[in-house]
Each structure stands twice: as structure tokens, then as C-alpha cells.
Amino acid sequence: MLFKKSPEKFWDLIASKYAASPIQDRTAYETKIRKLKTYLTTDKVVLDIGCGTGTQCGDIADNVKQVIGIDISRKLLAIAQQRKEARQQDNIDFLQTSLFDERLASASFDVVMAFYVLHFFEDINVVFNRVHDLLKPDGFFISETVCLADKNKITGKLLRFAGHLGLLPRMNLLTTQQLEQALQNSGFSIVEKIKFSHRPDSEFTLIAKKMKDKCGLSK
């Protein structure tokens, strides 16, 4: 099966296996969730882009007013929904949709999260502009992204080639520096840059604050 035009089929295919795989560094993950919670209060509305099985949504839901998790995979979202129901977390809504869905209104989120998904978008500049638009003034964008170009260039090129052939979803070869620059170009200021895990394959968590828009006016 080729996934070039329909990456959701890849995620549907591996959904059960993905859901069963344990978090690789649980201590680092728990420290990250504690850090996330310092940006959250019970009046906040949060969007999780590429929420998968809803792990992070579930782990912050009790600290916020509402969480909306969006993803392209119907099967991953079905697992997320089951987990939400088991935890009786009525303030989470999962939508199988794109970041550009018009139901997601401008300036309606206090925090947007994106964990391990941004490298699957063709153009991160377009994504960051959209996130900027979705956030309320002074909102925060918290992301962790696979930056293959920072690490093993050969593996990165192979994965990108596999994406080009359609054997895997298409992936962008990003560096952390590119991400930081693109965030700044889209009107964000990076307030924290943290590596929670010491594992060699770990990524930075970037916490960026929405600044005034490019015309100098507060949105």
C-alpha cells in the first residue's frame, strides 16, 4: 500500500501496534507533563494537533477547561475515544480533521500542542501561521518535533526517500534551528527550549509565546 496521498492509511494500519507501544522514557515524559501543567489552568482551552491515542490530552485534561484533539487517523482516534471514556474525561473532544478545518476558530485556544507531528506537514511556515491565528493573544505553542536533519543525515534521507516513494508518510527533514527560525518568522517568541530526556534520539520541547502579529498589532 502506498501512503503518499493518504498518510492516514499508514496510521490506521499501525494504530493497534502504536497504541500498545510503551512510552520510551517515562521519567522524561512525566517531567514534561509537569512542565506543561505550569502553562495550564482550569479556564484554558487547548488544541492538540496529531493527538494520536490522546495520551497527552488525557494527562492534562483534569487541569484545563477543554481539550480538542485532532488527528487524521480514524483508528487512532477510536482508541483515544475509548481511553477518554475509561477515564471519564468529558472535557476532551476528538475530531478526525485537518488543522485547517474552519470549525477551528481564530483566537480560540490558549495553548496549542503538537507532539511528534510537525515533520509530517509539507510546510511548517503555513502550520505556524495557522497556529498563530488559532491562539488567543499571549497564547502558547508547545511542540516536540523529530529533527532528523540534526542527527543522522543518511537515516533522514532514507526516511524521506521512503516517504517520496509512498512507503511511509511524507516527512520533512528539519533542524531545530529551522523550527526556531520559522516560529520567530510566524510571530512567536521562544520562551523555553528543554530536553527532558538524555536519550540520544530525544528531541527539544519548544515553548513559544504568541507575540504581536507582523503588522505590530495585537491579534
Question: Which of residues 39, 44, 60, 71 is near ligand SAM by CB under 6 A?
Answer: 71
Judged by CB under 6 A, the chain residues 75 through 94 that form the site for ligand SAM are 76
- Out of 32, 55, 128, 208, the only residue in the binding site for ligand SAM (CB under 6 A) is 55
For position 116 contacting ligand SAM by CB under 6 A, the verdict is yes
Stretch that binds ligand SAM, among 34-42, 85-93, 116-124, 196-204 (CB under 6 A): 116-124
Decide: is 72 part of the binding site for ligand SAM (CB under 6 A): yes
Q: Which stretch binds ligand SAM (CB under 6 A): 70-78, 88-96, 130-138, 206-214?
A: 70-78
Taking CA atoms, 130 is separated from 3, 167, 181, 210, in Å, by: 25, 28, 16, 12
Site for ligand SAM contains 11 (CB under 6 A): yes
For ligand SAM, the binding residue among 19, 36, 44, 52 (CB under 6 A) is 52
Taking the CA atoms of residue 69, residue 209, residue 30 and residue 80 in that order, the dihedral angle to the nearest 10 degrees is: 0
Residue 216: count other Cβ atoms within 10 Å of its Cβ.
Answer: 7
Burial label for 33, CB within 10 Å (0-12, 13-18, 19+), is middle
Q: Which is nearer to ligand SAM, 51 or 142 (CB)?
A: 51
DSSP reduced 3-state for 46? strand
Q: Is 88 left (phi over 0), alpha (psi -120 to 50) or beta?
A: left
> Cβ 214 to ligand SAM, closest distance in Å?
25
Contacts of 43 (CB under 8 A, 6+ apart): 65, 110
CB of 179 to ligand SAM, least distance (A): 16
- Dihedral sign from CA coordinates of 30, 118, 71, 155: negative
Nearest residue (CB) to ligand SAM, 11 versus 109: 11
Rounded CA-CA distance 144/202 in Å is 9
In the complex, the residues that contact ligand SAM under the rule CB under 6 A are 7, 11, 49-52, 55, 70-73, 76, 98-99, 115-117, 120-121
